[in-house]
Structure 1
């Protein structure tokens, strides 16, 4: 069985990790790890493919993934990377979005394996049971305002000259995400949180809470935020986000996004967004470099990711 950290490293999928998160940690026993997904739309987009791939590799390395839908935190809004307050969505819209996201996630993770089968959870199921005073008593007393303000996601919003600053609602987001990790550790023996590098501050809050309250050491790993070769935002086209829902982004549009990648982008994307082995990717690169005009690299990437997300039938448009 492959080692999870080793697999992520050669694919360029590690930005930050806690000091004790080494190779040995993933060799000793089955690890339960989770990543969160925000239900603010009725579809995930290709930016969400990064945490999906993290969970997929975790499972393929013999461990147990949890896909956590933020039914509660989605009602609050994560300030990370945002310049303005998010518009809060109606609970009915959140519920509808969650159902669609669950269907999409089930395409990538195995849920029927008795040992490493994935779990699909909704944090609203435990946060709704928590009384506000109990939450403040257990969680709020263990995290200082100084600590919370020091996080980039909060500090950037406070220091920003334009905009409305940050509301108490979004300010508290990191407490709720930290509580998620505490709850999952207690109830599912989850000891690993995965996410994009913009989530590092929130992940650290969870680690610190668990260490303070339950005297346990847990782990965190983040992947770099994927950007295009020119530094622009990954996952955007002239029409906006590239969605995983074919009603929002057609199979042809989805395919063409990957096919139009530069050589530099396509080489990086092959490692991040496919499950191809290192030797296979190196073979494709060698063939491509012998005749770049044929775009074998982009062709392989577009065919793979399109069929991976939508099934082989999605390639019938060609």
Structure 2
């Protein structure tokens, strides 16, 4: 082998040792969805604050101060579940949460559905894209929902999804109630029961609650529930009770320990506080009932006790 052959062979060996040979390509950047909170306060929170009935939440609190649990499910374009996170407590002080999809998912179209503030997945049943909001795990919870369809491709890995409140808040205040009253019940009939990922409500149910009063003469209650199916499409009935007297006299004479105002029709709205005030008039032995409309009180009923 001549001198020039040796030089050529040496150059080839040097290039071979110094070159970078990639044996495996890195994974594509995974699809990520950043979760934010859209409904941090009710639409009419300022009026409730003005009345001293509620407090406005700051807009820069940690995510968990608005939503403390998260469940999500991801479907591909054919409707198959490709990723799921069971109901999990939100921790840390970050103002957003990030859903990272598995790196092995191929490019394509995916639908992400997220539920917040559920106690469990029980309200979802066999279909995680709809929930029975008045069932165990969701009843009386401030449930949030978001769903979006995203195209996952190179350069389109990052997306954003804002969660919205699914229920409204029924706020009732009672004033001038006789000293012996220390307990109340409430029933709301004809409200929606089910919501799907597209924020379509369906079904019909009723809610019943009971409340032991901490203070006499005045009472305030807050109850989370689905919207009404139509304007004034729900019926509210409230009963004020002297609990000890009612227990003593028995069922046959229980009316002597009970004040029962007239039932009224109300409209519950999503992310809205429906505010009513029951004012007992001792002279008339009856109730005046007021509804808060456009930042002012409107009387909707005046009557004697049944």
TM-score after normalising by structure 1: 0.23
Report the structure, 1 or 2, having the larger helix content: 1
Rg bigger for which structure?
A: 2
Report the structure, 1 or 2, having the larger strand content: 2
Larger RCO, structure (CA 8 Å, separation 6 or more):
1
TM-score after normalising by structure 2: 0.24
